[in-house]
């Protein structure tokens, strides 16, 4: 059904589409990393009309076809389930899956990008779908994928002091990190210092994370 | 007890045991030695005051539910008609920690959230008690992972642990009664304000003043 979409991609991007297959009814196109942005733009604005980016997923294939070396799931706090120093990782290690859907056509297609562990970078698609913003921050947080050109690439679930990327397969399963102090933020009612609610700004004009707007002209 | 005196209770439980919060609290909590009749009489009066205060405090627990996860449904159940925590004197949930004296940690505490929990605990007035509601708050539960604090007692001192995932309402009632027993047997004083150094050196104080300032 969605085979037509993959054929459309193949016709328009002969170089960029490396291969394609169907997995249990889902059409998958493996594409080149460098052209993921223009393919996404084509899928959204072209006749495919893929307005909806459902989600971006990432798979760490480090232990996909290997035995667990050292440690294991419950061994200790520090020993990783897979010791990268002892054994080179399987390449390409990471797979990104862009799952896009067309509300009009009622069809979906998945773009797959494969990344090697020594170069975990991919262009951002936030300029195509705005929802990609948080998905890419999530993948940066959990897997350490570097999305080139992302406007605000920082952790979204974990706190800033957190070390490492917890969903990577070489993250030690039982590793614990120390408790952290409270984040500082300006006191909205009395507090001195910069920021909304600070010196001289009345409470009626304060909006958290927003510019000060006169309530009488705000609509 | 052998000489017929009432036992002198150590000021424990209410004093946070974590050295990180109150350094040196453990060393000062020594049992005083009774020497004179006046001190003996004072101690008897204190124990009566302590018992009365303990009775009052145990049976009028105002709780602050710090609900973070699915245990909240069980908390609602235990507060509602069939189980009705109000029968045991824990009638009012107060949704500000400044008016509460029982902090119920209902649900999972993760590392990102632990400073919030600590701040809520520090905003509560003394005396205050903490109940860990469910296994997540007690020990982390099955969230044995990178993000979850393995028990709320890594952040603040906890008085009663109620296991269960989620706990049955009967377990919560049981935990509340255990906490009430603990409160009843704790040492309570009328006046627990820390005195300034000048006041400590003041010798001219009335009997009642000395009594209240114990």
The C-alpha atoms of residue A52 and residue A102 are separated, in whole angstroms, by 6
CB contacts, 8 Å: B144 with chain A: 174
pLDDT value of position A182:
76
**Residue B204: per-residue pLDDT:** 56
Q: How far apart are CA A24 and CA A110, in angstroms?
A: 12
Can you give the pLDDT at residue B207? 63
Average pLDDT over residues B41-51: 81
Q: Tens of pLDDT along B93-135?
A: 888 999 999 999 999 999 989 989 998 999 998 889 999 999 9
CB contact under 8 A, B118 and A182: yes
Chain B residues with beta carbon closer than 8 angstroms to that of A158 = 112, 147
Determine which of B113, B123, B146 to mutate to test the interface with A (most A C-beta atoms within 10 Å): B146
Answer yes or no: do A179 and B119 touch at CB < 8 A: no
CA of A55: how far to CAs of A4, A26, A50, A82, A135, in Å? 22, 15, 13, 28, 7
Q: Do B150 and A166 lie within an 8 Å CB cutoff? A: no
Q: A80-128 pLDDT, tens per residue? A: 666 777 777 778 899 999 999 999 989 999 999 999 998 999 999 999 9
Is B148 in contact with A213 (CB distance < 8 Å)? no
User: Predicted confidence band at B39 (pLDDT cuts at 50, 70, 90)?
Assistant: low
All residues of chain A having their beta carbon less than 8 Å from the beta carbon of residue B146 are 166, 171, 175-177
* Contact state of B119 with A182 under an 8 Å Cβ cutoff: yes
**B111 close to A (CB below 8 A):** yes
Percentage with pLDDT > 90 across chain A: 40
B150 contacts on A by Cβ (under 8 Å): 176
Whether the CB-CB separation of A86 and A70 falls below 8 Å is answered with yes
Those residues of chain A whose CB sits closer than 8 Å to some CB in chain B are: 157-159, 162, 166, 171, 174-177, 179-183
A136-146 pLDDT tens trace: 999 999 999 99
Q: How confident is the model at residue A58 (pLDDT cuts 50, 70, 90)?
A: very high
* Confidence category of residue A47, pLDDT binned at 50, 70, 90: confident
Cβ–Cβ contact B144 with A under 8 A:
yes
pLDDT-based confidence at residue B92 (cuts at 50, 70, 90): confident
> What integer best gives the mean pLDDT of chain B?
79
d(CA A182, CA B123): 14
Instruction: Give ipTM to 2 decimals.
Output: 0.73
Please give the domain boundaries of chain A with CATH numbers for all domains. 2-66+77-174 (3.30.460.80)
In chain A the beta strands, taken as DSSP E runs, fall at 17-23, 26-31, 52-60, 94-102, 107-115, 121-123, 146-148
């Amino acid at each position: 059904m969605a085979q037509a979409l993959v054929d459309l991609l193949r016709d328009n991007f002969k170089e960029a589409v490396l291969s394609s297959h169907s997995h249990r009814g889902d059409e998958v196109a493996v594409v080149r990393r460098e052209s993921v942005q223009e393919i996404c733009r084509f899928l959204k604005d072209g006749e495919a009309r893929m307005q909806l980016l459902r989600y971006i997923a990432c798979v760490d294939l480090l232990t996909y076809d290997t035995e667990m070396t050292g440690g294991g799931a419950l061994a200790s706090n520090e020993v990783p389930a897979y010791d990268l120093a002892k054994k080179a990782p399987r390449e390409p290690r990471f797979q990104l899956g862009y799952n896009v859907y067309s509300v009009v056509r009622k069809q979906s297609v998945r773009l797959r990008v494969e990344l090697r562990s020594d170069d975990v970078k991919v262009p951002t698609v936030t300029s195509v779908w705005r929802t990609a913003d948080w998905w890419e921050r999530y993948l940066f947080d959990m897997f350490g994928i570097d999305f080139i050109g992302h406007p605000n690439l920082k952790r979204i679930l974990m706190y800033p002091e957190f070390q490492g990327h917890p969903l990577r397969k070489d993250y030690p399963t039982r590793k614990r990190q120390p408790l952290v102090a409270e984040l500082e933020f300006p006191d909205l009612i009395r507090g001195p210092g910069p920021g909304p609610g600070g010196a001289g700004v009345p409470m009626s004009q304060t909006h958290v994370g927003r510019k000060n707007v006169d309530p009488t002209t705000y609509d | 007890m052998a000489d017929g005196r009432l036992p002198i209770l150590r000021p424990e439980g209410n004093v946070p045991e974590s050295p990180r919060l109150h350094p040196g609290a453990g060393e000062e909590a020594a049992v005083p030695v009774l020497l004179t009749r006046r001190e003996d009489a004072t101690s008897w009066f204190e124990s009566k005051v302590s018992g009365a205060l303990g009775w009052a405090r145990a049976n009028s627990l105002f709780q602050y539910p710090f609900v973070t996860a699915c245990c909240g449904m069980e908390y609602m159940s235990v507060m509602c008609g069939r189980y009705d925590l109000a029968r045991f004197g824990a009638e009012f949930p107060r949704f500000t920690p400044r008016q509460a004296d029982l902090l119920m940690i209902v649900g999972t505490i993760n590392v990102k959230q632990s400073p919030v929990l600590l701040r809520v605990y520090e905003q509560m007035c003394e005396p205050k008690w903490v109940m860990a509601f469910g296994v997540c708050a007690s020990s982390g539960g099955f969230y044995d992972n990178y993000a979850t604090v393995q028990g709320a007692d890594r952040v603040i001192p906890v008085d009663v642990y109620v296991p269960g995932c989620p706990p049955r309402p009967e377990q919560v009632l049981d935990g509340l009664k255990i906490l009430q027993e603990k409160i009843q047997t704790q040492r309570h004083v009328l006046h627990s304000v820390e005195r300034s150094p000048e006041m400590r050196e003041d010798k001219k104080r009335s009997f009642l003043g000395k009594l209240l300032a114990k």
